[in-house]
Homo-oligomer: A and B are copies of this chain.
């Protein structure tokens, strides 16, 4: 939530890997000195520079200097609490995306910031962690006759955004399974634990929705921006991504509605259960309390209690008690209590 960049010391140097490719050539390398990047700025080939674990440090600043990135953008890259957005800076497009992933064991959504800078001949991605989330795209690039090799730079850009949107669907799918599981639980054997799980899921859904909403805007702006960096051919693919983001938003909202409905069901189930508990208590208590009174009555030690000396006093008392109990039971039956 904090807007200001966290000025952590760059304890770990960021790792930088580059894939430089044309339709027929491919070069993959790990950059050791930041200045080695420079040669990828203006080659005839397409270069994808992937920076892991970037922080506001000399490294990032040098990078900015090498590729003419505006300082305000370097700030944004470093500050991982940005909301998804798109900025057109003429010679390059700057995009902030959020990569969501779901930790099933902890039932928590992790959100990682991905910043992408798209230029005519190079594309730079910045991500927080060390893990390579775009591994499958790299695999595709390694295949010589793959479409991605033939298409211009913006097709790689599209592929990256598509991968990010796909992650939303993966998370939504897992949350969806959770919703279904909770629904079964509430219908079968609801417990306070179920309620807490509903709450956690709602919490997650709120966070997810918060990060999906601006994504729609980003993709929609991508299509509206008449940047020469986005070819008309890629636009068809962007439309597809747009449809998917809309679908993701609608799915998230459908789940939210279902969770609300589930909560209502849970509460009504609780109230129903309480009613049942109360009825059991009431039936037992209302039947026996008058009987116990009667036993108390003839347990009194008054000297002059004629009934106590009657020969059939005891059976009579038992009879009265039995009558009272039967009357009570019939009364509750009439009231549909059991």
Q: CB within 8 Å of B: which residues of A?
A: 1-4, 70, 72, 81-83, 85, 87, 166, 169, 172-173, 176, 183, 187, 189, 192, 195-196, 199, 202-203, 206-207, 210, 213-214, 236-237, 239-240, 243-244, 246-247, 250-251, 254, 257-258, 261-275, 277-282, 284-286, 288-293, 295-305, 307-314, 317, 336-337
Q: Which of B81, B189, B192, B314 contacts A305 (CB 8 A)?
A: B314
Apart from A296-B299, A299-B300, A301-B301: 8 A-B pairs, beta carbons within 8 A: A1-B172, A70-B236, A195-B268, A270-B272, A270-B275, A288-B290, A302-B317, A304-B310
A176 to B187, CA, bound (A): 23
Please tell me if the beta carbons of B299 and A301 are within 8 angstroms of each other in the complex.
yes
Q: Which of B289, B301, B305 contacts A288 (CB 8 A)?
A: B289
A192 to B250, CA, bound (A): 30
Please tell me if the beta carbons of B289 and A284 are within 8 angstroms of each other in the complex.
yes
A317 to chain B, nearest CB (A): 7
Q: Which of B210, B265, B275, B295 contacts A274 (CB 8 A)?
A: B275
Q: Which of B1, B169, B183, B203 contacts A176 (CB 8 A)?
A: B1
Copy number in the complex reads 5
A234 to chain B, nearest CB (A): 12
Q: What 10 A-B pairs have minimum CB-CB distances, sorted nearest first?
A: A295-B296, A298-B300, A281-B282, A302-B314, A299-B299, A284-B286, A199-B265, A288-B289, A192-B272, A202-B261
- Contacts A199-B265, A264-B199, A289-B292 given; does A304 touch B300 at CB 8 Å: no
A272 to B193, CA, bound (A): 10
- Contacts A250-B210, A308-B303 given; does A273 touch B275 at CB 8 Å: yes
Please tell me if the beta carbons of A304 and B311 are within 8 angstroms of each other in the complex.
yes
A264 to B141, CA, bound (A): 49
Please tell me if the beta carbons of B313 and A308 are within 8 angstroms of each other in the complex.
no
Please tell me if the beta carbons of A261 and B314 are within 8 angstroms of each other in the complex.
no
Please tell me if the beta carbons of A243 and B192 are within 8 angstroms of each other in the complex.
no
Please tell me if the beta carbons of B277 and A300 are within 8 angstroms of each other in the complex.
no
Mind listing 15 A-B residue pairs with CB under 8 Å?
A: A3-B166, A82-B243, A195-B265, A195-B272, A196-B265, A199-B264, A202-B261, A206-B261, A270-B275, A277-B282, A278-B278, A285-B289, A288-B293, A295-B297, A302-B307
